């Protein structure tokens, strides 16, 4: 594991400071010896001092001492007390420089003829050790005492000298403080340019040898920069976490970046820092692209399937300025042929189903004089039905019409595409008086995060506060207000945060439906706020969804249901209407519906939810992305949240464990278990479509004929490649769906094959049963093609 740069820098800094302390101590000892030698020459009255110019290993430089007079001790004392002579000696100074190899320590010592030494200035690059500073000051005081003994004969001169020296010493100390502050600022600026310091501790000896001014300065700077360092540290951790998570997900899902190479050993150590930074930025961009999904970017066939399984995609439509309008109706065979004709001619069209838009039938009668369908318009030009299209194509005049579409924009006389909300009965509901009361209550009571039972609950309110509002607003007694609040809760406007009760007075916490954290973050059929319209019965909503889904599948899916035009579907008014319809599901009562109604409703809803998820999140490219789509894309239905997985395994399979899972979707106290079917419906596996090529065909199911339609779906799927038998090799090639959900069909492969043999052709079923009874049949499960069924 690589060392953190901040810790390595801190350890190296401590080592350098320790070495600096040792060198400064040696310099202090050398300086003391030098002062002792000078004092000996002053006190001993043997004549003038004899000092040689020399330079030791520490770069000490002492200038020659000039102006010494050959006098006796008495003459020397007279010279010391002379005021004018002392001024001359003070003016004649030389510098004694002590340069440190590590820190360039410079101490200028003023030397006069009597070898009286005064520290004039001290210049450090980082810090001044207290020991050295005190040592120089003490040496100055000793020499000051010697000078005072020699000038006792002139008190006035002595006081003047002391004042001058004191002033000079004070100026020197101020200079030291200013220079130390400047150097500390330089060091602080250098530290800010480094990475984060993870270990800011200092060695005790270094703390003892640091001046007070420097310590206080560093403390202030650390307090000021702690917020910036904490923020930088948090940003680095977040960025590295995003990269680690995205890399793990990419590797687990089997995807690799283009042009990626593995670097190991010494080769990996030679990568420059610039290349690492560029890779870091590229990873961040990839993470940002992962979270900024656009549906248009995912209408393509992914390259994660083998070459032999790939098929040619749909033909690209012709770019044109005009538009093609097709008037149709549901269940019309001739309309299907017109769609196929336009598709083969690469003409993108806008379909107007007169069953979905009844007002357009009157419009068609006014424009063409005949309300029969199908009718095709090239901008404002009426082409006609299927026979007219084929006649134009046979005569060669159709290409002229197509050229007109390519080059000419439609005029104001051309039929318009369906408008938003046109002929939509979703907004025709009556207002809900209880919803209006709840909206008013929501604006009056306090909704905030609260702590309860050592847990934090977001966006909740107290039951007592809600009762205070209801008592005052509705003029109710306390007990009557409790009953009214329970009625509101039963209509799914709000619920207890832990579902412990319906509603009680006191400090119980409740939360509005749209402010639940899971609902707000994962559910895609609920708007922000409270819908003030009365919800329709589930049977009526299911009927409208079924009718709209049937129209969409006819218009935007192939005739066999194996391909879907996601691009056209995403921009259609039918899909926008579907989104408005599913918003009504948040407060419907679904508990008492029959088996057939539940079966048809949830199969159709599953298929539309999968399309909705692909349009919102894009087609999942790997295993983790698929699991996210199945588990995290949810709808609110009857006050509870349902994902694709919970619909398939919890409701349609009778609350059975999903493949490769150890837990059931619904727990013992889960309210959704009331909606689950009593036993697994095995045929739903041939009707649920999650947008893959190996999945079943897309179609719509009705509660009246649900069992027969599911049986037909199983026959189509198994007979069209879901199960093939090689009689010569005694091998059965089965879909992976039979393996994943084998517990719904039988205990082992033999029982699974016996079960699905009921849906094969009679001849194939008889041959399969004979092989199972006379020989060992090998079962090989086909590779599942997860590519988008576009």
Report the range of poorest mean pLDDT among 215-224, 490-499, 734-743: 215-224
H helix or E strand, kind and range, residue 116: none
Classify strands 324-328 and 375-378 as parallel, antiparallel or unpaired: antiparallel
124's torsion region: left (phi>0), alpha (psi -120 to 50) or beta? Answer: beta
Distances (CA, A) of 761 to 179, 637, 687, 716, 755: 98, 40, 19, 10, 13
Task: Check: CB of residue 671 under 8 Å from CB of residue 658.
Answer: no
Residues 329, 335, 337: CA angle, nearest 5 degrees: 165
H helix or E strand, kind and range, residue 739: helix 736-740
452 phi and psi, to 5 degrees? Answer: -155, 130
Q: What is the SS3 string spanning 180-221?
A: HHHHHHHHHHHHHCCCCCCCCCCCHHHHHCCCHHHHHHHHHH
510 phi and psi, to 5 degrees? Answer: -130, 160
Give the pLDDT confidence score for residue 17 in this predicted structure.
59
Of the pLDDT bands very low, low, confident and very high (cuts 50, 70, 90), residue 181 is low
3-class DSSP state of 639: coil
Give the pLDDT confidence score for residue 128 in this predicted structure.
43
Q: Where are the alpha helices (DSSP H) in 193-303?
A: 204-208, 212-252, 266-269, 273-291
Give the pLDDT confidence score for residue 146 in this predicted structure.
42
Report the range of poorest mean pLDDT among 222-236, 614-628, 679-693: 222-236
The tens digit of pLDDT for each residue in 412-469 reads 989 999 988 888 877 677 888 999 999 999 999 999 999 998 999 999 999 999 999 9
Of the pLDDT bands very low, low, confident and very high (cuts 50, 70, 90), residue 673 is very high
Nearest to 140 by CA among 151, 152, 148: 148
Give the pLDDT confidence score for residue 99 in this predicted structure.
44
Task: Check: CB of residue 730 under 8 Å from CB of residue 777.
Answer: yes
Nearest to 200 by CA among 179, 180, 177, 230: 230
Give the pLDDT confidence score for residue 715 in this predicted structure.
96
Starting at the edge strand that comes first in sequence, how are the strands of the sheet with 723-726 ordered? 723-726, 731-734, 778-781
Report the range of poorest mean pLDDT among 17-21, 527-531, 656-660: 17-21
Classify strands 117-123 and 324-328 as parallel, antiparallel or unpaired: unpaired
Omega prior to 374 cis, within 30 of 0: yes
Give dist(CA 349, CA 363) in Å, integer: 18
Of the pLDDT bands very low, low, confident and very high (cuts 50, 70, 90), residue 530 is confident
Give dist(CA 227, CA 223) in Å, integer: 8
Give the pLDDT confidence score for residue 227 in this predicted structure.
55
Of the pLDDT bands very low, low, confident and very high (cuts 50, 70, 90), residue 250 is low
Residue 594 has pLDDT above 50, yes or no: yes
| Burial (CB count within 10 angstroms: exposed 0-12, middle 13-18, buried 19+), residue 530 | buried
Classify strands 731-734 and 778-781 as parallel, antiparallel or unpaired: parallel
Residue 275 has pLDDT above 90, yes or no: no
Task: Check: CB of residue 373 under 8 Å from CB of residue 327.
Answer: yes
Residues 264, 270, 273: CA angle, nearest 5 degrees: 115
Distances (CA, A) of 173 to 121, 166, 169, 170, 218: 8, 11, 6, 5, 20
Give the pLDDT confidence score for residue 236 in this predicted structure.
64
Handedness of CA 404, 408, 410, 412 (dihedral sign): negative
Of the pLDDT bands very low, low, confident and very high (cuts 50, 70, 90), residue 235 is low
- Rounded to the nearest integer, the mean pLDDT of the chain is 74
User: Tell me, what DSSP letter sits at residue 152?
Assistant: T
User: Tell me, what DSSP letter sits at residue 4?
Assistant: P
Of the pLDDT bands very low, low, confident and very high (cuts 50, 70, 90), residue 175 is low
| Burial (CB count within 10 angstroms: exposed 0-12, middle 13-18, buried 19+), residue 463 | buried
Nearest to 151 by CA among 249, 87, 53, 81: 81
Residue 534 has pLDDT above 90, yes or no: no
Contact residues for 246 (Cβ-Cβ < 8 A; gap 6+): 283, 286, 287, 290
Residue 104 has pLDDT above 90, yes or no: no
430 phi and psi, to 5 degrees? Answer: -80, 150
Beta bridge partners of 451: 456
Handedness of CA 272, 274, 276, 278 (dihedral sign): negative
Q: What is the mean pLDDT of residues 62-75?
A: 41
Long-range contacts of 668-673 (CB under 8 A, 24+ apart): 669/499, 671/499, 671/639, 671/640, 672/640, 672/642, 672/646
Q: What is the mean pLDDT of residues 99-106?
A: 42
Q: Note if the pTM is more than 0.85.
A: no
End-to-end CA distance of the chain: 47
DSSP string, 51-87: ------TT--B-PPP-------HHHHHHHHH-HHHHH
Q: What is the mean pLDDT of residues 260-279?
A: 41
H helix or E strand, kind and range, residue 403: helix 398-407
Angle between helices 212-252 and 623-632 (to 10 degrees): 90
Handedness of CA 765, 766, 772, 778 (dihedral sign): negative
- Provide, rounded to the nearest whole percent, the portion of the chain with pLDDT above 70: 60
Give the pLDDT confidence score for residue 69 in this predicted structure.
38
Residue 38 has pLDDT above 80, yes or no: no
| Burial (CB count within 10 angstroms: exposed 0-12, middle 13-18, buried 19+), residue 116 | buried
Query: What b/e sequence results for 655-686 when a residue is b if at least 16 CB atoms lie within 10 Å of its CB, and e otherwise?
Result: bbebeeeeebbbeeebebbebbbeebbbbbbb
The tens digit of pLDDT for each residue in 127-158 reads 444 444 444 444 444 444 444 444 444 455 55
Give the pLDDT confidence score for residue 471 in this predicted structure.
94
Q: What is the mean pLDDT of residues 118-123?
A: 40
Give the pLDDT confidence score for residue 448 in this predicted structure.
95
3-class DSSP state of 642: strand
The tens digit of pLDDT for each residue in 188-212 reads 444 443 333 333 333 444 444 444 4
Task: Check: CB of residue 35 under 8 Å from CB of residue 141.
Answer: no
Q: What is the SS3 string spanning 453-491?
A: CCEEEEEEEEHHHHHHHHHHHCCCCHHHHHHHHHHHHHC
Contact residues for 55 (Cβ-Cβ < 8 A; gap 6+): 61
Residue 617 has pLDDT above 90, yes or no: yes
Distances (CA, A) of 48 to 77, 86, 113: 12, 17, 10
Task: Check: CB of residue 371 under 8 Å from CB of residue 365.
Answer: yes
Give the pLDDT confidence score for residue 751 in this predicted structure.
92
Give the pLDDT confidence score for residue 420 in this predicted structure.
85
Beta bridge partners of 496: 510
The upper half-sphere exposure of residue 429, i.e. CA atoms within 13 Å in the direction of its Cβ, equals: 18
Residue 398 has pLDDT above 60, yes or no: yes
Of the pLDDT bands very low, low, confident and very high (cuts 50, 70, 90), residue 124 is very low
Contact residues for 762 (Cβ-Cβ < 8 A; gap 6+): none
Give dist(CA 21, CA 734) in Å, integer: 80
């Amino acid at each position: 594991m690589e060392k953190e740069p901040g810790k390595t820098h801190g350890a190296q800094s401590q080592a350098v400071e320790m070495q600096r302390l040792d060198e400064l101590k040696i310099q202090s000892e050398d300086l003391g010896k030098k002062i002792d030698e000078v004092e000996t020459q002053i006190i001993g009255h043997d004549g003038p001092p004899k000092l040689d110019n020399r330079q030791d290993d520490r770069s000490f430089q002492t200038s020659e001492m000039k102006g010494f007079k050959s006098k006796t001790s008495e003459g020397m004392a007279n010279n010391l007390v002379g005021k004018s002579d002392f001024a001359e000696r003070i003016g004649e100074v030389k510098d004694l420089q002590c340069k440190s190899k590590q820190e360039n320590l410079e101490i200028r010592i003023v030397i006069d003829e009597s070898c009286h030494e005064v520290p004039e200035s001290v210049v450090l690059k980082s810090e001044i050790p207290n020991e050295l500073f005190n040592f120089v000051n003490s040496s100055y005081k000793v020499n000051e005492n010697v000078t005072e003994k020699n000038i006792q004969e002139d008190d006035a001169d002595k006081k003047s000298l002391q004042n001058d020296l004191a002033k000079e010493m004070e100026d020197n100390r101020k200079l030291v403080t200013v220079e130390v502050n400047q150097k500390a600022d330089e060091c602080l600026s250098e530290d800010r340019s480094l990475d984060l310091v993870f270990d800011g501790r200092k060695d005790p000896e270094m703390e003892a040898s640091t001046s007070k001014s420097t310590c206080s300065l560093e403390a202030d700077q650390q307090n000021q920069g702690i917020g910036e360092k904490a923020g930088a540290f948090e940003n680095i951790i977040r960025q590295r976490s995003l990269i680690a998570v995205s890399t793990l997900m990419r590797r687990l899902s089997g995807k690799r970046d283009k042009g990626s190479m593995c670097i190991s050993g010494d080769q990996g150590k030679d990568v420059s820092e610039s290349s690492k930074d560029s890779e870091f930025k590229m990873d961040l961009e990839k993470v940002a692209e992962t979270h900024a999904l656009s549906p248009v970017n995912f209408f393509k066939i992914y390259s994660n399937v083998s070459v032999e399984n790939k098929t040619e995609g749909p033909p690209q439509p012709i770019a044109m300025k005009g538009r093609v309008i097709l008037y149709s109706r549901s269940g019309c065979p001739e309309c299907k042929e017109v769609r196929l004709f336009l598709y083969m001619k690469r003409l993108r069209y806008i379909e107007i189903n007169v069953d979905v838009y009844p007002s357009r039938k009157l419009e068609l009668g006014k424009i063409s004089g005949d309300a029969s369908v199908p009718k095709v318009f090239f901008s404002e030009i009426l082409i006609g039905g299927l026979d007219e299209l084929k006649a134009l194509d046979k005569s060669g005049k159709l290409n002229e019409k197509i050229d007109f579409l390519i080059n000419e924009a439609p005029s104001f006389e051309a039929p318009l595409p369906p408008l938003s909300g046109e002929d939509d009965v979703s907004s025709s509901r009556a207002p809900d008086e209880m919803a209006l009361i709840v909206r008013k209550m929501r604006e009056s009571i306090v909704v905030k995060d609260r702590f309860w039972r050592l847990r934090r609950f977001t966006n909740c309110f107290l039951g007592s506060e809600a009762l205070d509002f209801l008592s005052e607003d509705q003029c109710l007694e306390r007990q009557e207000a409790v009953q009214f609040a329970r009625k509101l809760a039963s209509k799914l406007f709000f619920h207890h945060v832990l579902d412990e009760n319906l509603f009680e007075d006191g400090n119980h916490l409740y939360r509005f439906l749209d402010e639940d954290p899971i609902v707000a973050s994962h559910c895609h059929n609920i708007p922000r706020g409270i819908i003030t319209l009365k919800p329709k019965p589930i049977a009526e909503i299911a009927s409208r969804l079924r009718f709209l889904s049937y129209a969409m599948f006819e218009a935007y899916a192939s005739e066999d249901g194996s391909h879907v035009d996601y691009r056209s579907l995403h921009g259609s008014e039918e899909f926008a209407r579907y989104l408005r319809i599913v918003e009504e599901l948040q407060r419907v009562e679904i508990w008492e519906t029959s088996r057939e109604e539940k079966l048809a409703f949830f199969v159709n809803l599953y298929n539309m939810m999968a399309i909705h998820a692909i349009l919102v999140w894009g087609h999942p490219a790997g295993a983790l992305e698929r699991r996210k789509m199945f588990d995290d894309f949810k709808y609110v239905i009857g006050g509870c949240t349902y994902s694709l997985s919970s619909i398939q395994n919890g409701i349609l399979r009778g609350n059975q464990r999903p493949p490769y899972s150890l837990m059931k979707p619904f727990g013992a106290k889960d309210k959704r278990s009331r909606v689950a079917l009593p036993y697994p419906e095995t045929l739903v596996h041939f009707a649920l479509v999650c947008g893959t090529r190996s999945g079943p065909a897309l179609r719509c199911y009705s509660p009246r004929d649900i069992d027969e339609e599911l049986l037909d779906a199983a026959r189509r799927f198994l007979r069209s490649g879901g199960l093939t038998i090689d009689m010569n090799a005694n091998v059965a090639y089965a879909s992976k769906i039979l393996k994943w959900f084998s517990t719904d069909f039988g205990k082992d492969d033999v029982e699974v094959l016996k079960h699905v043999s009921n849906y094969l052709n009679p001849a194939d079923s008889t041959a399969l049963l004979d092989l199972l009874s006379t020989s060992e049949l090998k079962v090989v499960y086909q590779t599942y093609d997860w590519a988008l069924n576009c």
